[in-house]
Chain A
């Protein structure tokens, strides 16, 4: 064994010390009883903890199928007696919820589509093309991540008000067309992307745009998927800006609508939990389908 060979090259005293250490480490690793099963002991903490963490969502879905009298019994029941759908019909039939849902879909869909195109174009340019001002522009773009939205929101409202965008979906879509985070994600991805493929395309006489469209983008699908998921979740969940930019109910997004719905149905808990369920389900679906990419993107952005 190689271990034995290196040991033999050492003086006798060191050798015994070394052997003792290895034996001790071996003993530690093979200690009998509960220590050996230690890895699986983690379940004792993780299982209850993870259940407590998702409990509010399970409870939300169960409650959305209960009647208000059921919900208000003390102690509250854990399981709905019948599958009551009155909460959902209140939400869908006698409120503007369908509008809000549709508006959110439009805004989030537009944001995803625009960011996939604009962020990947910009990220590619910053990673690959040496153009005048590219370094300065990249630094400036990344620096905007430090500017909090509270600082820009008042003038942005004034500007959008002056150009007539307030109270339109355009006011919500325009700021989401691209993002510093998205540009950074794509920039980091393209930097680690092999150059040879593009060069082959260039030699074959393709223009930059053709290389980008036909060679680079198809291979960037993992990064694009991650960007799309993050953009959708962010756009769907945003409350602060839509709350300010939109004032009429038919143009609300689902988050803003939810807060007004809560105010109007203050103790009508089966309807409120039905509304919160419908609000969270799209994001949870996107997350469950694409969580591997989502996790890769957020951890990759930190390490990169």
Chain B
């Protein structure tokens, strides 16, 4: 029999076997994770798109009503309020949160003692449960028994309504939110600052750069990519603002702290208008996506890549 296999055929056969065994092991290793992650995100995402075209009440599938939910939400004053509040939170928190994070990181980025202690202190509010923190600050800012009003009274200032005052509640939540998040900003900025080689700063000094010049021309350009990241992260997080609202004001007083996610939760799981809630969720999704893409596009135009 003339079954002389030439070397090329043997090599091809061996290659095919390796590839097949790679496919099998690869999928065996990654398969469970891939199925769970994709199954729990893309399937519900598509389902939500369908739900948003129905009048589902959460437990029954409901009827197909076309784009009625979307035309209704264009005229929904509550949604407009929730949208404005979420945007206000971002505007109040993001610039100050990032600037304060960078400032503290610069203070920490030296041969300073106790750096571990400081870093731990600043990170504790970030890792502790937001629900517990909301409850805690509900008490701290309590108009009658809260320690903040006691302090104001002690120095002769008028007592405030804080979370019970429609004109203050959102700002108070922004302050609490700042407190929970800024440790994260510090740690991320600090890691970026530690990447600046000491020689670069020394070289800048030799070229006659003062403290401000070094900050503007060395430090700021170096942390720009991280700033873009923190902006994107902050936007994603603000658009998910829920725990603090739920444990303090429940959207009140007079809807002054109603955020988008709180509104979606209310629509779907309190008022049982799941179809409409899904439509609002899609609006939230696209808005946050556009905001994120805008930030990334800005970064790319300025040649800042993550």
List residues of chain A with CB under 8 Å of any chain B CB: 21-22, 24-25, 28-29, 39-40, 42-43, 45-46, 49-51, 53-54, 56-57, 59-60, 71-72, 74-76, 118-119, 121-122, 124-126, 129-132, 134, 137, 140-141, 144, 146-159, 161, 174-175, 177-180, 183, 208-209, 212, 233, 236-237, 239-240, 243-244, 255, 258-259, 262, 269, 272-273, 276, 279-280, 283-284, 287-288, 291, 294-295, 298-299, 302-303
User: In the assembly, what is the distance between CA of A250 and CA of B206, in Å?
Assistant: 68
Residues of B contacting A29 with CB < 8 Å?
Answer: 205
Residues of B within 8 A of A258 (CB): 129, 131-132, 135
Does A24 lie within 8 Å of B208, measured CB to CB?
yes
Residues in A whose Cβ lies below 8 Å from that of B38: 140-141, 144
Across-interface contacts of A53 in B (CB, < 8 A): 121-122, 124-125, 179, 183
A contact residues around B37 at 8 Å (CB)? 141, 144, 178-180, 183
**Nearest A residue (CB) for B52:** A154
Contact A39 B111 (CB under 8 A): yes
Contacts of A279 in B (CB 8 A): 129, 131-132
Closest chain-A Cβ to B276's Cβ sits at a distance in Å of 10
> A53-B179, A125-B29, A151-B45 provided; 5 other pairs, C-beta below 8 A?
A151-B281, A258-B131, A262-B247, A299-B188, A303-B192
A299 to B187, Cβ gap below 8 A?
yes
Selected from A25, A54, A144, the residue in CB contact (under 8 A) with B41 is A144
Bound form: Cα–Cα A118–B139 in Å:
41
Q: Are A284 and B135 in contact (CB under 8 A)?
A: no
Taking the closest CB of chain B, its distance from the CB of A233, in whole angstroms, is 5
| CB <8 Å contact, A150 and B119 | no
CB distance from A62 to the nearest CB of B (A): 11
Q: Are A22 and B206 also in contact (CB < 8 A) when A39-B112, A208-B25 are? A: yes
Any A CB within 8 A of the CB of B137:
yes
For the complex formed, measure the closest distance between the CB of B54 and the CB atoms of chain A, giving whole angstroms.
11
- Report A-chain residues with C-beta under 8 Å of the C-beta of B246: 239, 243, 259
- Docked-complex contact B32 and A239, CB < 8 angstroms: no
With A129-B25, A276-B132 known as contacts, the answer to whether A122 contacts B33 (CB < 8 A) is yes
Contacts A279-B129, A295-B119 given; indicate if A71 touches B135 (C-beta within 8 A). no
